[in-house]
Structures are given as C-alpha cells and as structure tokens.
C-alpha cells in the first residue's frame, strides 16, 4: 500500500521503513512523504544527503504544505518544495538555532550541517545578509547573555562564561573585553553602581 492511500493527517510518526529510506537517502520515497527535524525546524525529502537526524527528532509529513503549516522551513540542499530557499530565510534558521543553542559548542561546520548547506556558502551568505560572520553572531549573542548574567546574578565570572558556552575563564574575559571594552568584573561593578 502506498503511503498516500493511508488516512492523511498533517503529520505522523516515522515508521521503520520510512526511517530506513531517510538514512539510506532513498529517492524512490521522494514525494511519498517528507520529514521534518524538530531540533532544526527544517524539512527534507527522504533522498536528502544532509547529516542523518536523530530518530526521536523526526516527524513525517505527506505534503510540503503540511510541514510549512507547522512552521518547518524547506531544506536548502534538497529543496522539498521544488523552489530555492531565500537566503534571508536560510539565515533566519541559523540565527534562530544560535539564539537557542549558544551555550553549546558551535562551529561553522555544525551550523552548516544543521542548516543543510556548506560552511563556505553559509559564511558568505550570512555575512552578506547580517553584516557579520556566523562566529561573530555567536560571540555577540554570548556576550549579550553574559552582560545580563553579570548584571542580575552573583554567579562567578567562570560560571557565567560556562553558562554562555565559553569554558575557559581567561578566554571568556578576553572576548568580553574585546567586544565591550571592559572586563567582566568592571562591567558588573558599573552595573551594580548604576542601580
């Protein structure tokens, strides 16, 4: 029985046959179903050559419109809607991922994998759209969060560095100083005296 013949709900759990099609990039299942990855918010064709997702993060769709209606964005690599994904939309996927995962280890390669593109192309497009590189965006996001923590908590500077994704305290202080013009301790003292 073809997948289309089943009662069509907007989304469904991926079964073993569909999972095998996804991890083996089986093009014979293209247009039979599409799959979305909850952690990235991107949906693909079964034949997509992107990094294999984790099974528990995958949801199935019968039509691209179903995925779009649930807030998933089309993969830039396999183009499940048949159309090219606008660069602005692609960059939005990356910035959204960074905003939610900045405490984790993030590299250009990781961002390219989650957004289904190449590191070089991502770097070039991201800089053209935002005016800064993805790595600068990560550092800016981390320092914005660090400023909030310095002003509102009594956590140590080392703990704050770890919470924003920089485990080396000296490196955290150097990055903070480079981007803000002051040390974390000086920033904290100025914040508390301004209250």
Residues 36-52: tens digit of each pLDDT: 999 888 999 999 988 88
- Pick the catalytic residue from 44, 48, 75, 78: 44
How many angstroms separate the CA atoms of 189 and 183, rounded?
Answer: 10
- Token representation of residue 114: 């989650």
Residue 85 is given by DSSP the state: P
DSSP 52: P
Across the chain, mean pLDDT equals 90
| 145 vs 160: CA distance, rounded Å | 9
pLDDT by residue, tens only, the chain of 195 residues? 344 444 556 789 999 999 999 999 999 999 899 999 998 889 999 999 888 899 999 999 999 999 999 999 898 889 898 887 788 888 998 999 999 999 999 999 999 988 888 899 999 999 999 999 999 999 999 999 999 999 999 999 999 999 999 999 999 999 999 999 999 999 999 887 765
Strands 42-44 and 58-61, how do they pair? Answer: unpaired
Please give the model's pTM, rounded to 2 decimal places.
0.69
pLDDT for residue 190: 87
Give me 18's structure tokens.
């569909």
pLDDT at 31: 87
What's the CA angle centered on 143, arms 140 and 149, to 5 degrees? 150
Q: Establish whether 48 is a catalytic residue.
A: no
Summarised one tens digit per residue, pLDDT across range 139-170 is 999 999 999 999 999 999 999 999 999 999 99
The phi, psi pair for 42, rounded to 5°, reads -110, 145
For 39, the token pair is 């952690």
């Amino acid at each position: 029985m073809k997948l289309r013949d089943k009662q069509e709900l907007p989304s469904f759990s991926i079964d073993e046959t569909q999972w095998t099609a996804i991890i083996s990039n089986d093009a014979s299942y293209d247009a039979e179903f599409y799959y979305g990855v909850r952690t990235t918010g991107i949906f693909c064709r079964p034949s997509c050559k992107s990094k294999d997702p984790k099974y528990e993060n995958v949801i199935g769709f019968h039509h691209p419109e179903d995925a779009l209606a649930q807030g998933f964005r089309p993969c830039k690599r396999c183009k499940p809607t048949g159309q090219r994904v606008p660069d602005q939309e692609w960059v939005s996927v990356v910035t959204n991922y960074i905003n939610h995962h900045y405490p984790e280890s993030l590299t250009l390669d990781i961002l390219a994998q989650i957004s289904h593109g190449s590191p070089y192309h991502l770097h070039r497009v991201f800089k053209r759209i935002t005016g800064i590189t993805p790595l600068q965006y990560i550092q800016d996001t981390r320092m914005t969060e660090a400023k909030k923590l310095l002003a509102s908590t009594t956590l140590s500077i080392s703990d704050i560095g770890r919470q924003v994704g920089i485990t080396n305290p000296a490196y955290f202080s150097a990055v903070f100083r480079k981007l803000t013009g002051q040390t974390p301790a000086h920033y904290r003292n100025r914040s508390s005296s301004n209250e």
